[in-house]
């Protein structure tokens, strides 16, 4: 019996930050933690700047206006 899901969701529902990582919560229940070190604009941002984000594409992407940064959720997972 195959239990793999062929059509996984890449839509985020929430994001949190710690001192050195970003955790993205996906609508299918997954949580993905990514080092901020991978993204210089996020690594050098203040906590206020990090938390000033919005979803784009119904959760398919994350946008930081003040940092001029966009990330695709699917690219964070793969």
| 3 state SS of 54 | strand
What does pTM read for this prediction? Answer: 0.85
34: in domain: yes
49: in domain: yes
Whole-angstrom Cα distance, residue 12 to residue 21?
16
So what's the pLDDT on residue 3? 58
pLDDT at 5 over 90: no
Q: Which two tokens stand for residue 5?
A: 């899901």
So what's the pLDDT on residue 9? 74
Are 41 and 68 spatial neighbours (Cβ–Cβ below 8 Å)? yes
What domain count does the chain have? 1
30: in domain: yes
Mean pLDDT of 3-27: 86
Structural domain for 26, as ranges: 12-77
4: in domain: no
Whole-angstrom Cα distance, residue 3 to residue 21?
30
Q: What CATH code is carried by the domain that includes residue 50?
A: 3.30.2020.40
Of 1-5, 34-38, 51-55, least confident by mean pLDDT is: 1-5
1: in domain: no
Q: Which residue has the higher pLDDT, 21 or 3?
A: 21
**Could you give the percent of the chain with pLDDT greater than 90?**
85
């Amino acid at each position: 019996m195959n239990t793999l899901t062929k059509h996984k969701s890449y839509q985020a529902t929430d994001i949190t930050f710690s001192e050195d990582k970003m955790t993205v919560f996906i609508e299918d229940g997954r949580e993905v933690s990514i080092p901020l070190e991978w993204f210089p604009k996020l690594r050098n941002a203040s906590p206020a700047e990090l938390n000033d984000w919005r979803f784009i594409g119904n959760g398919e992407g994350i946008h930081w206006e003040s940092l001029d940064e966009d990330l695709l959720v699917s690219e964070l997972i793969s």
